[in-house]
Amino acid sequence: EAVRRVLTEGGAPDALAPQIAAVLGEGADGALREDPWQLLRVAGVRPEQADGFARALLGAACGPDDERRGRAVTVWLLEQAAVAGHTALELPALVAALGRQGVPDPDAAVQGTLAEGEALVFQDALDEPGAPAPEAPGDTGDDTGDGDEEQERPVRVLVGLERYALAEESLADGLARLVNSPSGETGQAWEAAAAGLSGGAAELARAVAGHGLVLHTGGEAARAEPAALLGAARAAGLRA
């Protein structure tokens, strides 16, 4: 009931009360009064709607340069990116998007979001054509002594919400273990299974024979190929 009163006071539909309570938990009404832009955490609410709600509650104290707004819009943009399939955004893209949402100091908004633990930052090394290969430990790479200066690899800076970042990291670890896990079946056995197949199914079987993890893509026709591979594998006595 208290959440409904705050929503009504700010001109927002009181039907949002259950969602607000679920997102903000106990004391949701106080949290919403303290930071009206938390309304953006409800699915379907846009920044301009949260701005109107904040103006109604805060009056003259409401402004586009409010740190709370910057953090909330940053999280909202990352949420929207995740819905579109991007678990993280490159920092320049995020900064540009914040500018389009009327955040006066996008860099400060990102830093504030990171400081509050609402998002995480990552560095992803880039493999650029012509870039020097990373040296092995203890290898100077130059017998003349001029190669002591470490050449840094270019990186891109990514920002993402913690829950998506951790889920992606866990998935990556699982896939790495799968790729590196030893197989009980020999490549020759899978090659034998491939001999009884044709077309895309045979190519898929040969890929499985040589790799611990295979990604198979395609349209409707591609769906039959894994089924054919499974049938051939079972017939050959392979685990499938």
pLDDT tens-place string over residues 155-189:
889 999 988 767 766 777 777 777 776 555 556 67
Average pLDDT over residues 24-52: 94
pLDDT at residue 34 greater than cutoff 90: yes
pLDDT at 174: 77
Average pLDDT over residues 207-228: 75
Say whether pTM exceeds 0.85. no
Whether residue 39 contacts residue 12, with contact meaning beta carbons closer than 8 Å, is answered with yes
46-53 own/partner pairs: CB under 8 Å, 24+ apart? 47/73, 47/76, 47/101, 47/102, 49/12, 52/10, 52/11, 53/10, 53/11, 53/12
